[in-house]
């Protein structure tokens, strides 16, 4: 077993940002690891396994630190929303891995460009929303939320990514408190990652070899972040997350755009 | 169905309190953190033997 310090640090940084802003772990960490010479079969399953475990820990401590409250019996709003978003996400990740395995490709440039621009647009809208529009914060907009979940799932399913930014900002646009929105995303992403892992197992039976050499390092960095981030979300006031989330989404969108232009 | 989300009620209430109140964590939370750290050690042991 090998522990690589710079991978631990990268995983810690991006998982912290992912837990606090609801986005960025896969979108930002994967291309960096590809740049360091790791292959998709070393990076993608490892990120999914790490995200599944750290997502569960993150969800547990978001509940513990009162960023959000879950209840399964009876199901409360937060749990229902996490399950709705997971439903679309699970279909999407299953479709994207199978399509990737079957080498069925949609026009990569157009899809990635569309998702990057969508994420930037949502980030800018989120920012303008704080500045200009006085919306009643907690007004229930369930249809809008389902629409954003489906859109996020569709984008991920066709291989464009951007699941985290779309469902996080989608929740905020639908009236959910910022701190709780990022917590619910962690819950949904952990369930989606579990389906992703199962799909990888499915294709590994068909002869695809998965390499987990990065797992101890990514898991270690992600684990520390999953403990620390829910606490930081609790301690810092919501006003900070209100600005931080759209700004980080714009950053992720610009990073994706830059990646498309440079490659 | 009510017009407003029930989500985030406790987080909002906590936000009304001072930062010192938010920094404080309960003893039960510390125990859970220790429990999760033990899970980490167990998982890494599994990685050591199986990876």
Domain boundaries, chain A: 5-262
**Which residues of chain A are within 8 Å of residue B1 when distances are taken between CB atoms?**
140
- The residues spanned by each domain of chain B are 25-51
pLDDT band at A82 (very low <50, low <70, confident <90, very high): very high
Per-residue pLDDT at A46: 92
Over pLDDT 70: what percentage of chain A? 95
Instruction: Identify which has the larger pLDDT, A28 or B17.
Output: B17
pLDDT over 90 at A183, yes or no: yes
Per-residue pLDDT at A60: 96
For A103, what's the count of Cα atoms within 13 Å in the CB-facing half-sphere? 1
* pLDDT tens column, B28-50: 999 999 999 999 999 999 999 98
Structure pTM? 0.89
Per-residue pLDDT at A134: 61
Of A77, A213, A223, the CB nearest to B6: A77
pLDDT band at B1 (very low <50, low <70, confident <90, very high): low
Q: Tokens for B37?
A: 């750290």
CA distance B47 to chain A (A): 7
Asked if B44 reaches chain A (Cβ–Cβ under 8 Å), the answer is: yes
* pLDDT tens column, A90-147: 988 888 888 877 777 677 788 888 888 988 989 898 888 887 766 555 677 888 888 9
pLDDT over 60 at B5, yes or no: yes
DSSP string, A172-241: HHTT--HHHHHHHHHHHHHHHHHHHHHHHHHHHTTTPPP--TTHHHHHHHHHHHHHHHHHHHHHS-HHHH
Asked if A220 and A8 touch (Cβ cutoff 8 Å), the reply is: yes
Q: Look at A227 and B36 and tell me if their CB atoms are within 8 Å.
A: yes
**Which residues of chain B are within 8 Å of residue A215 when distances are taken between CB atoms?**
47, 51
pLDDT over 90 at A30, yes or no: no
pLDDT over 70 at A7, yes or no: yes
DSSP state of B2: -
Asked if A161 and A259 touch (Cβ cutoff 8 Å), the reply is: no
What average pLDDT does range A202-224 have in this prediction? 89
Per-residue pLDDT at A217: 96
* Chain A contact residues (CB < 8 Å to B): 1, 53, 57, 60-61, 64-69, 76-78, 81, 136, 138-140, 175-177, 179-180, 184, 212-213, 215-216, 219-220, 223, 227, 231, 234-235, 237-238
């Amino acid at each position: 077993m090998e522990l690589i310090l710079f991978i631990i640090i990268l995983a810690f940084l991006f998982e912290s940002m992912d837990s606090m802003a609801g986005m960025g772990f896969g979108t930002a960490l994967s291309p960096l690891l590809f740049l360091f010479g790791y292959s998709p079969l070393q990076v993608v399953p490892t990120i999914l396994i790490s995200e599944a475990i750290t997502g569960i820990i993150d969800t547990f401590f978001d509940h513990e630190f009162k960023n959000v409250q879950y209840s399964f019996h009876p199901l409360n709003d937060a749990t229902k929303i996490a399950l709705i978003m997971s439903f679309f996400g699970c279909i999407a990740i299953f479709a994207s891995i199978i399509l990737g395995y079957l080498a069925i490709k949609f026009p990569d440039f157009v899809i990635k460009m569309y998702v990057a621009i969508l994420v930037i647009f949502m980030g800018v809208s989120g920012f303008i929303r704080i500045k200009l529009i006085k919306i009643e914060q907690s007004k229930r907009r369930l249809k809008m939320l389902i629409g954003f979940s489906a859109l996020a799932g569709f984008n991920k399913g066709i291989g464009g990514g951007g699941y985290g930014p779309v469902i996080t900002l989608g929740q905020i646009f639908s009236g959910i408190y910022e701190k709780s929105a990022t917590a619910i995303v962690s819950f949904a992403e952990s369930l989606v990652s579990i389906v992703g892992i199962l799909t990888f197992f499915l294709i590994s039976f068909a002869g695809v070899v998965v390499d987990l050499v990065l797992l101890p390092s990514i898991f270690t960095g992600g684990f520390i972040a999953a403990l620390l981030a829910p606490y930081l979300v609790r301690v810092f006031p919501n006003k900070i997350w209100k600005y931080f989330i759209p700004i980080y989404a714009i950053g992720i969108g610009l990073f994706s755009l830059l990646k498309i232009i440079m490659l | 169905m009510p017009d407003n989300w029930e989500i985030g009620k406790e987080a909002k209430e906590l936000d009304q309190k001072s930062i010192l109140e938010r920094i404080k964590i309960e003893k039960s939370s510390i125990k859970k953190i220790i429990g999760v750290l033990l899970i980490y050690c167990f998982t890494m042991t599994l990685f050591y033997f199986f990876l």
